[in-house]
């Protein structure tokens, strides 16, 4: 669910548009003035992409000149919550998007949340992952600055992986998003 939503956030202008729409700025001219550097072409591309995704609805007014207003839908407000949550945890949206695209990345972060791990320990806990894929995923998480690789000067040399500060924030964000994505369960009982 979150993966599809985050695909729309890969463009740097989309979170800014979503924020402006949430603040009540609804006309294309107003949006363009509120976001410095946003071209008219990109503005309409982003608005139409959000509309196709069901995040925004357009109200077209007849008459001359023809005008339109854009408003967030319920799905758009969920998108806004993701943007706000990412900002609250200081996690860049592209990093979150990359991690959510791959189950192994999420699982590695979940395991490392419990504490530093050796590669062999990670491989035992990640049932079905090959050594090569594990190495690729660990390298990717290092490039994203989510984990740190530490080499202990012992004999034999021991390699450990742990979450970086950014990884800790991302781990908390993932837990938060997991809670947000669960359907609410309402207790049913009798009223007295």
Handedness of CA 78, 80, 85, 90 (dihedral sign): positive
In 26-143, beta strands by DSSP E: 56-61, 67-72
Give the model's pLDDT for residue 188: 46
| CB-based contact 159:150 (threshold 8 Å) | yes
Compute the CA torsion angle 70, 72, 74, 79 (nearest 10 deg).
Answer: 140
Mean pLDDT of 83-91: 88
Residue 13 has pLDDT above 50, yes or no: yes
Range from 50-54, 60-64, 124-128, 138-142 carrying the lowest mean pLDDT? 60-64
Give the model's pLDDT for residue 189: 47
pLDDT tens figures, 117-146: 999 999 999 999 999 999 999 999 999 999
Q: What is the pTM of this model?
A: 0.70
Q: In order of start, what are the domains of the chain with their CATH numbers?
A: 2-81 (1.10.10.10), 92-181 (1.10.10.10)
């Amino acid at each position: 669910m979150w993966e599809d939503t985050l695909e729309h956030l890969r463009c740097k202008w989309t979170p800014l548009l979503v924020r402006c729409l949430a603040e009540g700025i609804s006309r294309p001219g107003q949006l363009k003035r509120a976001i410095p550097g946003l071209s008219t072409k990109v503005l309409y591309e982003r608005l139409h992409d959000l509309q196709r995704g069901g995040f925004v609805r357009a109200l077209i007014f007849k008459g001359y000149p023809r005008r339109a207003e854009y408003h967030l839908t319920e799905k758009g407000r969920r998108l806004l919550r993701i943007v706000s949550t990412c900002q609250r945890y200081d996690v860049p949206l592209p990093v979150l998007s990359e991690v959510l695209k791959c189950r192994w990345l999420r699982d590695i972060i979940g395991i490392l949340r419990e504490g530093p791990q050796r590669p062999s320990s990670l491989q035992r806990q990640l049932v079905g992952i090959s050594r090569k894929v594990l190495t690729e995923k660990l390298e990717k998480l290092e490039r994203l600055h989510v984990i740190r690789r530490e080499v202990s000067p012992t004999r034999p040399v021991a390699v450990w992986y742990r979450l970086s500060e950014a990884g800790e924030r991302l781990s908390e964000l993932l837990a938060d998003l997991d809670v947000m994505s669960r359907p609410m369960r309402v207790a049913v009982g009798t009223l007295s």
